[in-house]
Amino acid sequence: MSKNIWPRKTQIQIDFSEHTRLDLIEFAISITNANNYLEIGCLENFVFDKVNVKHKIGVDPRQGGNLRMHSDDFFKSNTEKFDVIFIDGDHEYQQVKRDVYNSINCITDKGWIIIHDVLPTSRKDTVVSNHGDAWRVSFDLLKETKLCYKIVKIDWGCGLILPGTQNTKKIKLKRKNIPVSWNYYIKYFDKLPIITFNELKEIVN
């Protein structure tokens, strides 16, 4: 009889640094010499108003940004390429996944894509009214070979898609017929490519 190998933890300890998503966005802008910036989800313009680039677009169906529309509709009609894209809209997994893969199709060769809220610390973090289950998209991105995916340990976790490639064989995640649940997240947490902000600086420099 096989044993139940799934962990029963309800919380996980993550030591986030004092850096914020805005710090990461500004760093991405400086590294890429960005002229074009896209933000998906601009509630109260906490980030959008502070971003200083030549051309920026903020998409939100309710408030903030400069385009009042759903991200799906924006991507259907968009013809532009962006140097930095920040995704912080609907935190439901399927929507986040669409936003991520639509963003991949309109990022420049040198561009960075940042995804907010990918490191929950408890089950209660994963409800949509809190941080949602945006974290699940990390396991999709770890299967992609034509990009480089990291998670910066700041501000509830910022997923980061960089130019480059990654060796998916090194990760060895179990995915077939196994739902990406909270228990799955806990079990394979140590497989996630989590780095500090300072380690990111070392990588790109």
pTM of the model: 0.93
CB 14 within 8 A of CB 119: yes
15 domain-assigned: no
Confidence of residue 10 (pLDDT cuts 50, 70, 90): confident
> What range does the domain containing 191 cover?
21-204
Provide the percentage of residues in the chain whose pLDDT is more than 70: 92
Return the pLDDT at 176. 66
In a domain, 10, yes or no: no
Q: Is 90 contained in some domain? A: yes
**16 domain residue, yes or no:** no
Residue 200 falls inside a structural domain: yes
**Count of domains in the chain?**
1
pLDDT for res 2: 38
Q: Answer yes or no: is 13 within a domain.
A: no
Say if 2 falls within a structural domain: no
Band the pLDDT of 56: cuts 50, 70, 90: very high
Higher per-residue confidence, 30 vs 131: 30
- Check pLDDT > 60 for residue 5: no
Tens-digit pLDDT profile for residues 135-174: 999 999 999 999 999 999 999 999 999 999 998 887 777 6
Average pLDDT for 97-105: 98
| Interval 108-143: pLDDT, tens | 999 999 999 999 999 888 876 677 899 999 999 999
- CATH number, domain at 29? 3.40.50.150
The mean per-residue pLDDT over the stretch 4-25 comes to 82
On whether residue 51 sits in a domain, the answer given is yes
